Amino acid sequence: MIYQFTIVVPVYNEEDNLKRVEKELGNYLDIAIMSTSILFVNDGSKDSSQDLIEDICNRNEAFNFISFKDNRGLSAAIKAGFDHVTAPLVGYIDSDLQTAPQDFNLLLEQIDNFELVTGVRANRKDSFVKNMSSKIANGIRRAFTKDGMDDTGCPLKVIRTEYAKRIPMFKGLHRFLPAMILLQNGRITQIPVQHFPRLAGEAKFGLWNRLLGPLSDCFAYLWMKRKYINYEVAKKG
């Protein structure tokens, strides 16, 4: 089957969440507004996540996976997903399911006019410290990138695959996806989406990852922006 949309699901030690992921994403496939497949990217999990992923893929034709030899981080997992997708549209959702797969339809309804549509988590169900650190980090990133996005860390996005594949790889990439599309002269927008508390497993990011790490990444982004190569072919012959 030829799919129009593929959802990348990075996984790192999420054995307690994966059965729920299978159920929720399976339910979404029944209501998706276009033909959709799922691509798990196992980021070197140390628990039984890989066995569960293989069982899920054996049960569901639209589910596939790739698995890293070692843990390489969220940005590497997302980039690997982009590299392996063949559908014209690619999405991304975290395996903790703090965002709702059905909200992909809200983003897909807008994608015809944009190269990236990202969610904005409304009424976030996180701790005060997590919410405040994310707010500060987003403010810092906006000051550096001028992307106008309120919640670049929201793990619910849809991107045109041709643009996603041209995003250069570096650690912290997942925080700068809208800005990297702007570097390609792409159009971006944000849509409010649902947010839920984490029901199982452990969060993979602490205060450093959410606040201090992104600050240093902003300087890497500014360097890349100065050096970024972008061109359009006028004629071929």
Q: What is the 3-state secondary structure (H, E, C) of 104-146?
A: HHHHHCCHHHCCEEEEEECCCCCCHHHHHHHHHHHHHHHHHHC
The pLDDT of residue 225:
83
- CB 33 within 8 Å of CB 91: no
- Domains belonging to the chain, first-starting first, are 5-227 (3.90.550.10)
Question: In angstroms, rounded to a whole number, what is the distance separating the alpha carbons of residues 208 and 235?
Answer: 48
Mean pLDDT by 10 residues, the chain (237 residues): 96 95 97 98 96 97 97 93 97 93 97 96 63 67 74 90 91 85 94 79 56 73 83 87
Please give the model's pTM, rounded to 2 decimal places: 0.85
The C-alpha atoms of residue 124 and residue 129 are separated, in whole angstroms, by 12
**In the structure encoding, which two tokens stand for residue 237, read together?**
């012959």
- 127 Cβ contact list (under 8 Å, min separation 6): none
pLDDT attached to residue 148: 75
Report the distance separating Cα 9 and Cα 31, nearest Å: 18
Burial class (CB in 10 A: 0-12, 13-18, 19+), 123: exposed
What is the structure's pLDDT at 131? Answer: 60
pLDDT of residue 64: 98
Give the per-residue pLDDT at 91. 97
